[in-house]
A and B are shown apart, each in its own frame.
Chain A
Amino acid sequence: MSLFYSTLKYLVVTLWSIFVIAPFLWALTTSFKDFQSVTNGATYIPWVDFEPTLDGWRSLFKSPAQGGVAIVEPFFNSVIVTAAGSGISIILGTLAAYSLSRFTFRVGPIRNGDITFFFISQRIMPPVVLSIPFFIMLGKLGLLDTLFGLILVYVVLLMPIAVWIMVDFFNKVPIEIDETALIDGCNPYQAFFKVVLPNSVPGIIVAGMFCMIFGWTDFFFAFILTFTEVQLLPVAIVALNSSITPWWSLSAAALVSVAPLVVVAFIVERYLSKGNLSGALK
């Protein structure tokens, strides 16, 4: 019986793995194809079905004038906007979450839970609802089509995620740890920075990863709030789609855009797989 379940388990895992990996393999092989290999029927295995070429990858580094797609600048724009947006969101979000977890706020009928929900509610609204005020505000501030403007918008979008995850994390960290730090001679700021923060690294990493994923993969705001000066990677990749789509360049660009998230996912996988974050504190 156990052999049956074991076989079934491996079968399901194998099928799921194929389902997940297949698009990546497809994009990988396509990125080494040329026009002929893409348009003359389905081909799968390099050197057998088609002769691989690096044209798709080379085109990423060439300017459009040279027949390339120039994703280097959009790539680094995305890196700057995502890193800054996520970083600021995590710093502010962690501080806000700690306050919401540890101190009692009362303004009329509003309590801590309402404030936390207010943060999360920013993510409930459809992006298109937010885009109009963002567009008007950035326009008035002269920040449309700038990296700084995008960073500001991303902080607004990502901080609720950080607050949401970190409030939950801090709620699971016994308050007695903070109290012990106070008793041991820390003032409240020292208690946070010397004791609570070092023990919150798993939560911060998980929150940071979600911020990075949302920031890195955002297309909508990057598309609405930029024109010609600044272009982010998702917009640059979508812009490749034209009457004759260069699938080989598109595939290479897609793989480049996924690569940072794959690396991050591997690094933080052990924190994600823990499930119960409070397990960091015995």
Chain B
Amino acid sequence: MTLIASNLSIKYERNFHLNDVSFSMSKGEIYTIIGRTLAGKTTLLKTIAGLISPDSGGLAFDGHDFGSIPVWKREIAMVYQQFINYPHLTVYQNVAFPLKQRGIQKTEIHRRVKAALSQVGLGGFGDRKIQALSGGQQQRVALARSLVKEAKIVLLDEPLVNLDYKLREQLREEFRGIFDTKASEDSILIYSSTDPVEAMQLGGQILVMDEGRILQQASAKEIYENPISAKVSQITNDPAMNLFDGRIEDGCIVLSPEIKFNLPSHFNGLPQGDFTFGLRAAAISLDDNGFPFSVELSEISGSETFLHVRHEGLKIVGLLNLVQNFPVGGKVSIRFDTKHLYAFARDGRLKSSPYGGLQ
């Protein structure tokens, strides 16, 4: 069972919402589409659902043309980011709705609805009205309605984005559990997100989207280790990977007249010349023997500190363990962990990664 997209394009006025999108997806896998806002994620999901028709290109499911099948006859389920349910129905009726539409017997509907509600932790909520539930519970109802159908393709469009941080963490765990079990065995599960952490935690295959294009499709590990371009590295890291222009010269990396360091061993095959170098925030640390930077901002996030520092035109963000306070304008010494340094060509293509990426 495969879903194959071939050269899907959708253009409104002068802007591409989907631009020559092609992919292949197989059952039993979770596919996470990651991209910034307006990258084309929702358009792609709606195109798969049949809610939007592509201007060109096609979709094939199980070898059949998917484009000719109307939405209501496609075996799909979709969960939106806005907690979409039927407000005039109870929780039970909401979850039973797609099964009633299919004309399934009452006893079977009852069994499946009960199972789906208990799977999402809403066992005793069947008689409640949707409006009486919290945001997280409403989203669980929507999830239960998508699970109960046992659809071949399950689409989840940023389902956690409108929830508070704690609930998002909790539901992400639960979703992962649900997807790992029966729900995903016979389904293709497609999850869209703007959050790199979420995408990495869900694992599976990741499709990185930007401006309607798929920039890279690979496993979460491969995307992390070898982002195909500087843009992919920015989209798939939070905070975004630090990028800075420099040169390879006489066995050294030169970022400025004061900031030079030795070429790491994985860059040995690279020629001399101009590059854009990339380093994750976690590979930046404080070191008395480091380079002088001045503090622009210090952000405390949970038990970590994001330190924004600057040296002339070079601005970087470091992720430091524990809560630390730095006065704005204060001087700090920064060390670059060059073992984790990436090199991109000036046009953004990956040239070398610490994990053995392209040379």
Contact = CB atoms under 8 A, between A and B. Distances in A.
Contacts of B102: 185
Contacts of A186: 72, 101
B97 A184 contact: yes
Contact of A180 (B80, B88, B138): B80
A182 B76 CA distance: 10
Interface residues of B, number: 27
B59 to A, nearest CB: 15
A190 B101 CA distance: 10
Contact of B72 (A185, A195, A198, A281): A185
Contact of B77 (A174, A176, A183, A187): A183
A112 B24 CA distance: 38
Given A182-B72, A186-B72, A282-B131, A176 B80 contact: yes
Nearest to B52: A179
B290 to A, nearest CB: 51
A29 interface: no
Residue from A182, A184, A185, A281 having most chain B Cβ neighbours under 10 A: A184
B51 A177 contact: no
A191 to B, nearest CB: 8
A69 to B, nearest CB: 46
A162 B284 CA distance: 63
Interface string B154-192: 000000000000000000000000000000000000000
B86 interface: yes
A199 interface: yes
Interface string B81-95: 011111110000000
Contacts of A176: 80, 82, 84
Given A184-B101, A282-B130, A282-B138, A199 B80 contact: no
A84 B98 CA distance: 36
Contacts, number: 59
A179 B51 contact: yes
A182 B86 CA distance: 12
A183 B87 contact: no
Interface string A243-282: 0000000000000000000000000000000000000111
B66 to A, nearest CB: 14
Interface residues of A, number: 19
Residue among B46, B76, B87 facing the most chain A CB atoms (10 A cut-off): B87
B84 A174 contact: yes
B213 interface: no
Nearest to A179: B51
Nearest to A173: B87
A187 B84 contact: no
B88 to A, nearest CB: 4
Interface of A (DSSP majority class): helix
A187 to B, nearest CB: 5
B72 A280 contact: no
B309 interface: no
Nearest to B79: A180
B84 A177 contact: yes
A198 B87 CA distance: 9
Contacts of B49: 179, 183
Contact of A198 (B74, B76, B82, B88): B88
B71 A183 contact: yes
Interface string A174-211: 10110111111111001000010011000000000000
B33 interface: no
Contacts of B87: 199, 280-282
A187 B72 contact: yes
A182 B51 contact: yes
A183 B48 CA distance: 11
A161 to B, nearest CB: 25
A199 B129 CA distance: 13
Contacts of B98: 183-185
Contacts of B8: none
Nearest to B146: A183
A190 B70 CA distance: 14
A144 B240 CA distance: 75
B114 interface: no
A10 B241 CA distance: 62
A183 B82 CA distance: 16
Interface string B261-277: 00000000000000000
Contacts of B202: none
Interface string A136-175: 0000000000000000000000000000000000000010
10 contacts: A177-B84, A179-B46, A179-B71, A180-B80, A180-B85, A184-B97, A184-B98, A185-B101, A186-B101, A280-B87
Interface of B: 46, 49, 51, 70-72, 74, 76-78, 80, 82-88, 97-98, 101-102, 130-131, 138, 145, 149
Interface of A: 174, 176-177, 179-187, 190, 195, 198-199, 280-282
Given A180-B80, A183-B74, A186-B101, 4 more contacts: A182-B51, A183-B51, A183-B76, A184-B101
